[in-house]
Structure 1
Amino acid sequence: MGPRRTLHPLSLLVQAVALAAAVAQGRLPAFLPCELQPHGLVNCNWLFLKSVPHFSAAAPRANVTSLSLLSNRIHHLHDSDFVHLSSLRTLNLKWNCPPVGLSPMHFPCRMTIEPNTFLAVPTLEELNLSYNGITTVPPLPDSLVSLSLSRTNILVLDPTHLTGLHALRYLYMDGNCYYKNPCRRALEVAPGALLGLGNLTHLSLKYNNLTEVPRSLPPSLESLLLSYNHIVTLTPKDLANLTALRVLDVGGNCRRCDHAHNPCRECPKGFPKLHSDTFSHLSRLEGLVLKDSSLYSLDTKWFRGLARLQVLDLSENFLYNCITKTTAFQGLARLRSLNLSFNYHKKVSFAHLHLAPSFRSLLSLKELDMHGIFFRSLSETTLQPLVHLPVLQTLRLQMNFINQAQLSIFGAFPGLLYVDLSDNRISGAARPAATTGEADGRGRVWLLSRSLVPRPLDTLGSEDFRPNCKAFSFTLDLSRNNLVTIQSEMFARLSRLECLRLSHNSIAQAVNGSQFVPLTNLRVLDLSHNKLDLYHGRSFTELPRLEALDLSYNSQPFTMQGVGHNLSFVAQLPALRYLSLAHNDIHSRVSQQLCSASLCALDFSGNDLSRMWAEGDLYLRFFQGLRSLVWLDLSQNHLHTLLPRALDNLPKSLQLLRLRNNNLAFFNWSSLALLPKLETLDLARNQLKALSNGSLPSGTRLRRLDLSGNSIGFVTPGFFALAKGLEELNLSANALKTVEPSWFGSVAGTLKILDVSANPLHCACGATFVGFLLEVEAAVPGLPSRVKCGSPGQLQGRSIFAQDLRLCLDETLSWNCFGLSLLAMVLGLAVPMLHHLCGWDLWYCFHLCLAWLPRRGRWRGADALLYDAFVVFDKAQSAVADWVYNELRVQLEERRGRRALRLCLEERDWLPGKTLFENLWASVYSSRKTLFVLAHTDRVSGLLRASFLLAQQRLLEDRKDVVVLVILRPDAHRSRYVRLRQRLCRQSVLLWPHQPSGQGSFWAQLGTALTRDNRHFYNRNFCRGPTTAG
């Protein structure tokens, strides 16, 4: 639980304004934080809500017909919580405030319901308040049809609690007083408490410690469930007026504790006591449950008058002897389902079992469940009374420790559809059975009690593509037995069999085409989880109609080094459409190519195709011979890359390609064009980090693309845009921080499913993905609740709509505003305090600095000059003037790009109206350097001399040497000043080279001389150059 926050009025006002602006900008999901689902259902499950959400008036609240608030933390229901839902018919409040015994942490909890909470909803028809700590029935509207008060703390029911509920048809009050929800007493149902419910048809009072059937129940009841109480005596008056009853469950009231899976109280000796006429007046009864009632025999009179009985559950009793002798079934001509499971003798397994002759009278029986009776031999005499039952379809005999089974006996049952012999100990064909023998204990085997507990059925790994055996006319399940070999004699007289399950055995046989000869009509064969040796090329060829073959999890032979495996039999099965070779660790020494003209689906997951394709071209065309293949699963094949040539050698007929759980870090998307009919591509749970290498090709028929469970953090704009047929895209459980509309283009409008849940989205202010997801809201499953933020920290794990990201303040701006306001506050406090404490000292320091500022300002002003150089030359010399205008100016101002220099030229930059000396003085002092262009140095006069003197004056005043000399005729006679300057500051005296090869170096040196201070050019052996005053 997060820290509690107090909402102040100002905060509420700000949120209200933000919400109004949000509505003005665009529509948020109507029922935040819940999700609107089809048919008017609003799903608020598992949102940890502490109160009922009050939806916005802009939401279509009148269309809400069902509201589910399952598994939240709502402890208080107010009168106004549901007033705005005018059409509400179904309300689920289950698991909000569970009783202490049912709470995961055993915390006490009491739910408070105000009087008008449900009365304010006059349309309410179905209300679920189960698993909540309520002690009384709240006031309820008279429109209620179904009410669930199970697993609550309501221990008393009297007529005032349910007054006026004339429309109520279903009432559930299970588990209000039992070992998980203890109360140290029994549920009290006052006589006549339910009599006023004239339309009540279904009443469930299971697990309530009841010791008798409640009195004066409404005669309209059609279903009464009283199981797992402590009702050990039943008489005719207990059910006297319930003549409309169709289903009665009184099982578990006097339990058989040696088979219990939860706390159990032993049935008292001599009980239960069922009067012979207890059910005789229930002429409409169709279902009767007497399971787990410690019955040792069946009274024939119990079923007298039950001509309509269709379902009878007698499981978990002690009827092991009664099954062989009883006559109780003779009058049950309409019985369709009979459950006799776990009617075993304690710690005993019988050698034989023979059913009583009265089973022959069950002419309408469709399903017989006899698992857990514990007999070791199944022969023709075992089921003899059942042979001529015309409509018997299902026979369950699992978990009986059968080790000898004569399977051919099932060929005599004309309408049998399903026989379950799984979880036995059948190891092969049975010897001919003896004609005599009773379940009298001869040949008994004492068992350990732990053998009595049934194991859960395993889920077959290939069920997602293999046909369902329920669609076929006859199925035999021999899974989880002790079969080591298969002989054709086992299946004699079973030519009608269409589906055979032999999974989870220990068959280590080399099948050669002779094992299933009698099964000429077999269409589905499940041999998964065995140790089959696929060496012969004619394996299974005796099954001409075989459509589905499951050979998954037969890895032991494939892991034996040096042993070859022949898969050529696939080409000889003309009707084969589904084949599973999954999880066999196939990696070498197998047929180089699978061939079949009929195969449509192949499961090759859990092998090592990476090693196979690493062997050059040996297995490159392994799948190419499957000309009709539509469905191919290559998951868990250790693939690190999938080259275009590998895809090019897959069947062109492929429509679905599954590559889940590999190690793919790269996928060549353009190679999808090599599979022109591909509609579904599954790349989930790989190692893709970005979708940046190209895009989905145009013209692809791809409709479904699963990229979930990767590490994708970047998607190239337009990646999905060319896949015009894309309808379903799964990007969940990746590393995406945003979802951009530019990824999809026009495809975004045609997507039916876009799953972006479980991504660490960055919920920054103004995040663009919020608006985009709102545009495609109908395609995003769980948008309000499952699409969550990954950053920043305060929003991590919360819905992207926890705050409106289109209106929230930017975090950087918030910090800047905070800093400025803090600074203003500090200054507002510090300035008056400092003025009061040390005002005179501050005044003195201020004036001291003020006196220092002009000098500092002059130095700073020297750096902010108008020109980089003032060019001085003799205009009378036309050659010099031409060089300055056409060479010097062009090179320094036009050809240096961003490093161009600003030159001051007399004829261009001097201001008219000023005297010559004013312009000359301004040019020298407004330029960084003074550049003298000379043809010779022995005779200098006029403007050149005046400029030189001003430059020397500047040296004396500012201590800056600004003189740079360019001599155009290096062979001319040089004055003593020039020679001295060359000695002291060589880089400020430049000679113009007449060879073109040296001119580039000259311009570079001149640029350096004009941009750097001359102090850096002085020869340190003679002087340090001019220095600034300290």
Structure 2
Amino acid sequence: MKVLVLPLSSLFFLCLLPSHSAEWERKKCTQCDKHLFCDCSDQNLVQVPSIPENVQGLNLSHNQIEVLKEDDLQEYAQLKTLYLQNNRIRTIHNRTFASLANLESLDLSYNFLASLSWPWFDQLLSLKRLNLLGNLYTSLGSGFLFRQLSRLRSLRLGNRSFRSMGRSDLVGLRGLDEMVLHGSGLQSYEDGSLGSVGPIGTVTLSLYGPFHSYPALASKILRDVSNPETLLILTDVTLADERSTQPIVELKQKAVRRVIFRNVSVTDSGIVNVMRIMDRSEVSFLGVEDSQLVGHGFWTNASATHPDKMETLYIKNVAIRDFYAFSSLAFLQNVLQFPKSVSIINSNVFLMPCPTSKLLKKLEYLDFSGNLLTDLATKESFCNGEGTLQHLRSLNLSRNSLSSLALMSTLFTNLNQLTSLDLSENDFSDMPAQCAWPSSLQYLNLSTTKLRRITPCVPPSLHILDLNDNDLTEFNLNLPNLIELRISGNKFKKLPPGIFLPSLEVLLVQRNMLSMFGKSDLMDYKKLQELEAGHNKFVCSCGFVAFFQLEVGQLVRLRDGPESYQCDSPTALRGQQVGDTHLSAFECHMVVAVSVLCTLVFLFFFISGVLCYKLHAIWYLKMTWAWLKAKRKRSVNRDDIRYDAFVSYSERDSEWVEEFLVQELENAQPPFRLCLHKRDFLPGGWIADNIMNAMEKSRRTLFVLSRHFVGSEWCRYELEFSHFRLFDENNDTAVLILLEPIAKETIPKRFCKLRKFMNSRTYLEWPEDETQRPMFWHNLKMAIKADEC
């Protein structure tokens, strides 16, 4: 038994390892935004990733998740939105969603769920939107699946395998705003199954199988969902004969007012049958979308019908095979006289004959956008401008092949109630100088029509003018009634003059070539309240940045938000938001900054000059320069000493020097060699060179100090150069002789070395008493002969 302990424990460990490994390998989703929504779609995830616990929205669609375990979502109690569509989910634990009491939207569509379980939804008390489309379940289970979802407003269910529906399937649901039922494979339907929910705002039914094979079943479904307040959308059906159209009778009997046929295929016979069924019905809105008409419009058998409640006919993306052979529908006078709104969009319409136009006697709204109308065809459709459609208020001819704006104005000038005209995405290029528009026109859309200039062709009665995405560079029209101007996507370098637009409240001028705008530009608009001027090439100058950050919000509201306003130049600021830009004082106040800087520099030099004067710095610099120049010029060998002493004295003391000093020293035994400027200086030489050479060739420098010496300019030079020699060579070559008492303070303060020398050394004083003079001469001779250099 002991032998088996280790292998069994190891085996147990290995059995646990995969589950732990899965936990350890649980990936993190980092695609989370500031709104607490994480988009982890299309990342080949095989399980729910790790996300922040406070996340409120999670998109896990288009991954490879097959199983939802009990604790996959346990930590995310704050989730409000969860998208799991287009995975491979086959299994969901009964308590996977138990912690999601705040969940409002759950999408499990297009997975591999073969059955649905009521415990999944039992704790989702806040759920408002649930999508279960496109799975593999054949029924909704044993019933009461949605018993706790009293707040549910949108439910989408069904798939190609969905076979049966019972009365208890939708128990608990009330007042749905939307329901989508994919029941193309339904074979069994219990009366009242959908009727138990009560009136539903919009019901979309995909019932190809029932319409084709089980018309009675389709009738029961339509009977349950039809209601005067319900928008009923029938998709994926074929209306070919009387049998396939028979379930539509329920719409008339239940007084349905709004019906849309989507992705249907219908023949001439099917159209006739539907028109007969709907004769004198309550249907006021009839739409056909993404469908195909197989026929030529020969519906004469339905010409006697009277859909007198029909107000809106909406046709979009309808392909009419052999449309060029299509009937003019002139025989439908009883039918066409009722609609007030007709939309035929993206359906390859190239002509509406004038006789057909004359039948639309009550028409107020006409939308022919996205078709093949040309100038000639439009001329025919509007009966050469006779004003046939007298009640027309709104006309949309966008995305056709129109090229003459002058012709358009001529065709519509007699439409006296026309207030809105959309001619966008045509190819007008040029605008005529003058046009004749109805005086009632208030909205004109000429966006994306390749216009290069604007002329007075634009009617002055307009309240809204759309000129987006053209090649315009200026706008100088006087439009006193204009409230909103849209000129985004052009080549404007400045805002239009506000003086011509006194009533303007909204201006859209994005994606142009604006470099900046200022307070004066906006103040020209007396009533401007909202502005969209982002995505331009803004030059972030100091004035524009300051205006944008401090004033623009007080003048207008930026509808496109501050993030749309970014610097294009200077290069260093490109891509930065104008509102976050900070410029230095030198960039924004150059003159003031330079003035302040110059003032500071001047004060600096002025104070430095004063300090230099007080501290004798100028003198030090001057003497340093003179010393360096003298040293650079001389080439004397410092070992070649010619004199024992150089005598520096005032000319007014020359008598004492010549009679006493020279006689005593030069006649001594051995004699002293003295250098006197009067006899030994080189005639014509620079005084600084002579002084420097004399000092350099002398062992000592004798200063004969007196009041005359202090006042002598030459003596001051000699003192200065002696000072620098002392400083340069760091020795004591100076010998001071005082002819008369003189205070140390009379020596200039800048001769700091000499003043220090006088303070630290004994100097010789010329005695008045003749008995003391021998001692004076003895001491002087000893000072000259001293070995220290």
State the TM bucket, normalised to the shorter chain.
0.5 to 0.7
Shift in alpha-carbon separation, 1:340–1:609, aligned structure 2, 3 A: closer
2:59 equivalent to 1:138 = no
1:692 aligned partner:
542
Q: Is the contact made by 2:419 and 2:440 (CA closer than 8 Å) also made in structure 1?
A: yes
d(CA) in 2 for partners of 1:385, 1:938? 149
d(CA) in 2 for partners of 1:287, 1:214? 18
Q: Is the contact made by 2:451 and 2:471 (CA closer than 8 Å) also made in structure 1?
A: yes
Within 5 Å, which residues of 2 pair with 1:770-919?
A: 896-897=609-610, 899-900=612-613, 902-903=615-616
2:415 equivalent to 1:543 = yes
1:814 aligned partner:
none
Shift in alpha-carbon separation, 1:977–1:670, aligned structure 2, 3 A: farther
d(CA) in 2 for partners of 1:187, 1:940? 141
Within 5 Å, which residues of 2 pair with 1:927-946?
A: 939=654
2:667 aligned partner:
none
1:445 aligned partner:
none
* Residue 507 of structure 1, aligned match among 374, 383, 387: 374
* Residue 59 of structure 2, aligned match among 89, 95, 112: 95
- Shift of residue 522 of structure 1? 1.9
Shift in alpha-carbon separation, 1:143–1:370, aligned structure 2, 3 A: closer
Q: Is the contact made by 1:672 and 1:700 (CA closer than 8 Å) also made in structure 2?
A: no
Within 5 Å, which residues of 2 pair with 1:48-447?
A: 75=49, 94-96=58-60, 102-103=62-63, 106=64, 113=71, 130-131=84-85, 135-138=92-95, 140=98, 148=106, 150-151=108-109, 157=116, 161=119, 172=130, 174-175=132-133, 177=135, 186=137, 191=142, 194=145, 205-207=157-159, 209-213=161-165, 217=169, 227-228=181-182, 231-234=185-188, 239=190, 242=193, 245-246=196-197, 289-293=205-209, 295-296=211-212, 299=215, 303=219, 306=223, 309-310=226-227, 314-322=234-242, 326=246, 329=249, 332-336=252-256, 337-344=258-265, 354-355=272-273, 358-360=276-278, 363-370=281-288, 372-378=291-297, 381=300, 383-384=302-303, 386-390=305-309, 393-396=312-315, 399-401=318-320, 402-403=323-324, 404=326, 406=328, 409=332, 412=335, 416-429=339-352
2:46 equivalent to 1:46 = no
**CA shift digits 1:414-468 (9 cap, x unpaired):** 65343333333443345xxxxxxxxxxxxxxxxxxxxxxxxxxxxxxxxxxxxxx
* Residue 601 of structure 1, aligned match among 457, 460, 464: 464
2:527 equivalent to 1:677 = yes
- SS of 1:306's equivalent in the other structure is helix
Shift in alpha-carbon separation, 1:341–1:168, aligned structure 2, 3 A: closer
What TM-score does the superposition give when structure 1 sets the normalisation length? 0.45
Give the number of aligned pairs: 575
- SS of 1:329's equivalent in the other structure is helix
Shift in alpha-carbon separation, 1:363–1:215, aligned structure 2, 3 A: closer
- Shift of residue 507 of structure 1? 1.4
2:391 aligned partner:
521
- Shift of residue 306 of structure 1? 3.4
Given residue 321 of structure 1, which amino acid in structure 2 is its aligned partner? D
2:364 equivalent to 1:498 = yes
d(CA) in 1 for partners of 2:279, 2:396? 36
Shift in alpha-carbon separation, 1:663–1:941, aligned structure 2, 3 A: farther
d(CA) in 1 for partners of 2:100, 2:579? 51
**CA shift digits 1:503-553 (9 cap, x unpaired):** 333413497994352112222222333323134674532122221222333
- SS of 2:277's equivalent in the other structure is helix
Higher helix share: 2
2:361 equivalent to 1:657 = no
- SS of 2:523's equivalent in the other structure is helix
Q: Is the contact made by 1:936 and 1:974 (CA closer than 8 Å) also made in structure 2?
A: no
d(CA) in 2 for partners of 1:985, 1:625? 89
Q: Report the structure number with the largest CA radius of gyration.
A: 2
d(CA) in 2 for partners of 1:73, 1:149? 16
- SS of 2:449's equivalent in the other structure is coil
Shift in alpha-carbon separation, 1:292–1:941, aligned structure 2, 3 A: farther
d(CA) in 1 for partners of 2:368, 2:234? 30
d(CA) in 2 for partners of 1:211, 1:595? 61
d(CA) in 2 for partners of 1:1011, 1:609? 86
Given residue 552 of structure 1, which amino acid in structure 2 is its aligned partner? S
d(CA) in 1 for partners of 2:225, 2:66? 47
Given residue 405 of structure 2, which amino acid in structure 1 is its aligned partner? L
d(CA) in 2 for partners of 1:666, 1:147? 45
d(CA) in 2 for partners of 1:679, 1:195? 49
- Shift of residue 382 of structure 1? 6.4
2:567 equivalent to 1:712 = yes
Given residue 344 of structure 1, which amino acid in structure 2 is its aligned partner? S
- Shift of residue 687 of structure 1? 1.0
Shift in alpha-carbon separation, 1:698–1:384, aligned structure 2, 3 A: same
- SS of 1:568's equivalent in the other structure is coil
1:568 aligned partner:
434
- SS of 1:985's equivalent in the other structure is helix
2:591 equivalent to 1:637 = no
- Shift of residue 690 of structure 1? 0.5
Q: Is the contact made by 1:76 and 1:112 (CA closer than 8 Å) also made in structure 2?
A: no
- SS of 1:605's equivalent in the other structure is coil
- SS of 1:575's equivalent in the other structure is coil
d(CA) in 2 for partners of 1:176, 1:429? 41
Shift in alpha-carbon separation, 1:897–1:979, aligned structure 2, 3 A: farther
Given residue 187 of structure 2, which amino acid in structure 1 is its aligned partner? T
d(CA) in 1 for partners of 2:539, 2:161? 59
Q: Is the contact made by 1:522 and 1:545 (CA closer than 8 Å) also made in structure 2?
A: yes
Structure 2 residue ranges without an equivalent (≥5): 1-31, 586-604, 618-646, 662-676, 694-712, 727-789
- Shift of residue 631 of structure 1? 1.9
Shift in alpha-carbon separation, 1:413–1:352, aligned structure 2, 3 A: same
**CA shift digits 1:784-824 (9 cap, x unpaired):** xxxxxxxxxxxxxxxxxxxxxxxxxxxxxxxxxxxxxxxxx
**CA shift digits 1:813-836 (9 cap, x unpaired):** xxxxxxxxxxxxxxxxxxxxxxxx
- Shift of residue 577 of structure 1? 1.4
- Shift of residue 711 of structure 1? 3.7
1:439 aligned partner:
none
d(CA) in 2 for partners of 1:142, 1:599? 53
Q: Is the contact made by 1:608 and 1:638 (CA closer than 8 Å) also made in structure 2?
A: yes
Q: Is the contact made by 2:195 and 2:224 (CA closer than 8 Å) also made in structure 1?
A: no
d(CA) in 2 for partners of 1:1013, 1:164? 104
What TM-score does the superposition give when structure 2 sets the normalisation length? 0.57
**CA shift digits 1:662-687 (9 cap, x unpaired):** 12234454333333333233321111
Structure 1 residue ranges without an equivalent (≥5): 1-32, 36-42, 50-70, 83-90, 179-185, 249-283, 431-487, 559-564, 614-621, 716-730, 744-891, 905-931, 947-972, 990-1001, 1016-1030
1:734 aligned partner:
576
Given residue 532 of structure 2, which amino acid in structure 1 is its aligned partner? D
d(CA) in 1 for partners of 2:224, 2:608? 113
Given residue 482 of structure 2, which amino acid in structure 1 is its aligned partner? L
- SS of 1:113's equivalent in the other structure is coil
Q: Is the contact made by 1:147 and 1:171 (CA closer than 8 Å) also made in structure 2?
A: yes
- SS of 1:374's equivalent in the other structure is strand
